[in-house]
Amino acid sequence: MSARQVLLLVRKDLRRRLRSPLSTILVLVFPLVLAGILAMAFGAGETKAPKVRLLIDDRDGGLVGSLVAQAFTRPEAAQYFEVEKAGPDALERLEKGEFSALLRLPLGLTDGVLEGRAMELVLVRNPAQSILPEVAEQITQVLADGLSAASYSLRGPLDELRPLLNAGKGPSDPSVAAAAVTVNRWITRSGKYVFPPAITLKPVQLEKSGAETAGSSTGSGGVSVFLFVLPGLAVFSLFTLGDMVMRDLLGEGTRGTLRRVLAGPVTPGTVVAAKAATAAAVAVVGLLVLAAIAGLVARHGVDLAGFALLSLALVAAVTGLASTIYGLARNERQGSTIGSVLYMILAFAGGSFLPLDSLPPAMRAVSPASLFYWGTRGYQVLLVQGGGLGDVLLHTGILAGSGAALLAVGGMLLRRRVLRGEA
């Protein structure tokens, strides 16, 4: 393989891209435009995540129902929820899209919790929305879990007190004290589920494992929807760019220029290496553009070493995956189709388009198998959470390792095709 020939071929391809830049520009502009639209829709640059508008239909009217309703209106929860008491037109307003969900607290909820009976909270989701009702459902699930725990914990002292009350004589001071101690302990234990911290439970979990939803970055303040969605879309864009460049190898086969190059003193390995290097160069340029814009928008400094290392690993993954796809595809059109479908699936599964917690649990479980997941998460850690090189080492390692393996396989497949005259 001749390094000079590789450079000549890369320069040729970069010149061609510069002369016909439209497709490259479109792919690069796509994440910026989409992120911009999403930012405008959800309030770009604001320090608040989009609010969940929740209707509460409190048919219980007792202590527990009121506690649940208050949990959503405490100051800590108010930045996430806008709560309104449901009227007779609740379902109608939900259908109109005025609210994300309707929470129905059943009649007898307080008695049921105190007596340890099974009770059911009903959450009606707005089918026209996906993320916000999901947030409401998850928070409500946490509340329900907390109430269940409280019901079980209180059953002992209540059972002790109930016979005394039924016998017509007042409870003794020690038995009241014992019940009070038990209740106090329960409050201490379950407070983190039921009381205001329950509303913030989700962000607390997210801070441990990285950014998962728009609410996740509010812990450090200064969340930006633009910055939050940009990494996923940018990763998708970069894979699309890589695909576009590697597809050109098969395009050159169709146009006859590949045969002509190979009729010269140029090995198939040189041709494949040059195309991979072009894909990498275009991806680097794309990353620099996106990084510059992200840098302008970000309100905190970005760890440059982490960004550079993660980007290099991502470029390897982008090139490797595209090489493998076009090494396996029968022709340019088939490769393009397979690539488009595969990238969409990997992007959705990897959380590039939607927050991971809005995905079904089964899909969430396979998310780490998607290269998009590691790219998206890595950039979110750097850009949104202000993480550093140490925080993205795992992401970098997985991307680089997978990229190197895919590049080896793809390079071999492409070289074989070229040797057979199939490209």
In the complex, minimum distance from the CB of residue 34 to other proteins, in angstroms, rounded to a whole number? 28
The residue from 300, 401, 421, 422 that contacts other proteins (CB under 8 A) is: 421
In the complex, minimum distance from the CB of residue 276 to other proteins, in angstroms, rounded to a whole number? 18
d(CA 333, CA 230): 29
d(CA 162, CA 17): 82
In the complex, minimum distance from the CB of residue 19 to other proteins, in angstroms, rounded to a whole number? 4
Query: HSE (CB half, 13 Å, CA atoms) of 308?
Result: 3
The residue from 4, 163, 167, 168 that contacts other proteins (CB under 8 A) is: 4
For residue 107 the two structure tokens come to 């009649």
The residue from 15, 85, 155, 333 that contacts other proteins (CB under 8 A) is: 15
The answer to whether the CB of 185 falls within 8 A of the CB of 198 is no
Report the residue number, 86 or 262, with the smaller CB distance to other proteins.
Answer: 262
Nearest to residue 178, comparing CAs of 149, 164, 157, 155? 157
The residue from 96, 162, 255, 300 that contacts other proteins (CB under 8 A) is: 255
In the complex, minimum distance from the CB of residue 260 to other proteins, in angstroms, rounded to a whole number? 4
Q: How many CB atoms lie within 10 A of CB 237?
A: 27
Give the residues across from 83 on adjacent strands: 54
**Dihedral angle over CA of 157, 163, 166, 167, nearest 10:** -130
Site string for other proteins, 389-418 (x = CB under 8 A): ------------------------------
The answer to whether the CB of 113 falls within 8 A of the CB of 60 is no
The residue from 261, 309, 310, 316 that contacts other proteins (CB under 8 A) is: 261
Site string for other proteins, 296-335 (x = CB under 8 A): ----------------------------------------
Q: At what angle do helices 304-328 and 371-383 cross, to 10 degrees?
A: 160
The answer to whether the CB of 303 falls within 8 A of the CB of 222 is no
Site string for other proteins, 263-292 (x = CB under 8 A): xxxxx-------------------------
Question: Is 1 among the residues that bind other proteins (CB under 8 A)?
Answer: no
Instruction: Choose one: 59-67, 206-214, 259-267, 289-297; the region binding other proteins (CB under 8 A).
Output: 259-267
In the complex, minimum distance from the CB of residue 324 to other proteins, in angstroms, rounded to a whole number? 25
For residue 250 the two structure tokens come to 């098969």
Instruction: Choose one: 3-11, 158-166, 183-191, 349-357; the region binding other proteins (CB under 8 A).
Output: 3-11
d(CA 218, CA 195): 20
Question: Is 16 among the residues that bind other proteins (CB under 8 A)?
Answer: yes
Measuring CA to CA, how many Å separate 58 from each of 54, 70, 108, 140? 12, 11, 10, 14
In the complex, minimum distance from the CB of residue 26 to other proteins, in angstroms, rounded to a whole number? 17
For residue 339 the two structure tokens come to 């690539």
Question: Is 257 among the residues that bind other proteins (CB under 8 A)?
Answer: yes
Question: Is 259 among the residues that bind other proteins (CB under 8 A)?
Answer: yes
DSSP for residue 353: S
Question: 387 — alpha (psi -120 to 50), left (phi > 0) or beta?
Answer: beta
Report the residue number, 266 or 407, with the smaller CB distance to other proteins.
Answer: 266
Parallel/antiparallel/unpaired status of strands 101-105 and 52-58: parallel
Question: Is 19 among the residues that bind other proteins (CB under 8 A)?
Answer: yes
Nearest to residue 64, comparing CAs of 115, 101, 99, 100? 115
Count of chain residues binding other proteins (CB under 8 A): 22
Cα torsion 60, 61, 67, 73: sign: positive
The residue from 163, 174, 256, 361 that contacts other proteins (CB under 8 A) is: 256
In the complex, minimum distance from the CB of residue 257 to other proteins, in angstroms, rounded to a whole number? 5
Positions in the binding site for other proteins (CB under 8 A)? 4-5, 8-9, 12, 15-16, 19-20, 255-257, 259-267, 421
